[in-house]
Amino acid sequence: MNYNEPLAFRMKPKTLDDYVGQEHILGKDKILYRTIKADRLSSIILWGPPGCGKTSLAKVISNTTKYKFKRINAVSSGVGDIKSAIEDAQNLLLNPSGKCILFIDEIHRFNKLQQDALLPYVENGTVILIGATTENPYFEVNKALISRSMVFKLNPLTKENIYQVLKNALNSPDGLANYNIKIEDETLMKIADTANGDVRTALNGLEVAVLTTSMGSDGFIHITNQIAADSVQNRKAIFDKNGDSHYDNISAFIKSMRGSDADAAIFYLARALNGGEDPMFLARRIVIAAAEDVGMANPNALIIANSAMQAVHMVGMPEARIILAEAAVYLAESPKSNASYNAINSALADVQSKDTGEVPMHIRNAPAEGMEQFGYGDGYKYPHDYPGHKVEQQYLPDKMIGTKYYIKDENVINLDTNN
With 60 as the cut, is the pLDDT of residue 119 above it?
yes
- The whole-chain average pLDDT of the chain stands at 87
* Dist CA 286 CA 292 (whole Å): 10
* Cβ contacts of 343 within 8 Å, gap of 6 or more: 405, 406, 407
Share of the chain above pLDDT 90, in %: 35
Picking from 116-125, 349-358, 385-394, which range would have the lowest pLDDT averaged per residue? Answer: 116-125
Indicate if the pLDDT at residue 123 is higher than 90.
no
Domain 339-400, second-level architecture? Orthogonal Bundle (1.10)
What is the CB neighbour count within 10 angstroms for residue 5?
A: 12
Highest mean pLDDT among 182-186, 227-231, 364-368: 182-186
The architecture (CATH level 2) of 22-153 comes to: 3-Layer(aba) Sandwich (3.40)
Reported as a single tens digit per residue, the pLDDT across 54-110 is 988 988 888 888 888 888 888 888 788 888 888 888 887 777 777 888 898 888 888
User: Where is pLDDT greater, at 265 or 42?
Assistant: 265
pLDDT, residue 371, reads: 67
Q: What does the domain layout of the chain look like in residue ranges?
A: 22-153, 159-232, 244-333, 339-400
Mean pLDDT of 7-30: 88
d(CA 216, CA 336): 63
Is 90 exceeded by the pLDDT of residue 305?
yes
CA distance 273 to 287: 17
Query: Given 3.40.50.620, 1.10.3730.10, 1.10.8.60, 3.40.220.10, which CATH number is that of 159-232?
Result: 1.10.8.60
More confident residue, 51 or 404: 404
- Check if the beta carbon of residue 186 is closer than 8 Å to that of residue 81: no
Summarised one tens digit per residue, pLDDT across range 24-38 is 988 888 888 888 888
Mean pLDDT of 358-382: 78
Q: What's the CA gap between 212 and 217, in Å, rounded?
A: 16
Task: Report the share of the chain in percent with pLDDT over 70.
Answer: 93
Q: Say yes or no: domain 244-333 is CATH 1.20.272.10.
A: yes
Cα atoms found within 13 Å of the Cα of residue 161, Cβ hemisphere only? 19
Identify the pLDDT of residue 303.
96
Torsion of CA 328, 332, 337, 342, to 10 degrees: 50
Q: Would you say residue 417 has pLDDT above 60?
A: no
Mean pLDDT across the stretch 126-132?
88
Single pTM value for the model? 0.62
Give the pLDDT score at 336. 95
Q: What is the pLDDT of residue 418?
A: 43
CA 36/CA 25 separation, integer angstroms? 11
Separation CA 60–CA 63 (nearest Å): 5
Indicate the DSSP class of residue 108. G
Query: Crossing angle for the helix pair 199-211 and 225-232, nearest 10 degrees?
Result: 120
Q: What are φ and ψ of residue 94, in 5° steps?
A: -90, -20
Residue 239 has pLDDT above 70, yes or no: no
What would the mean pLDDT of 308-333 be, rounded to a whole number? Answer: 94
- For every residue of 247-301, DSSP letters joined together read HHHHHHHHHHHHTT-HHHHHHHHHHHHHTT--HHHHHHHHHHHIIIIIGGG-THH
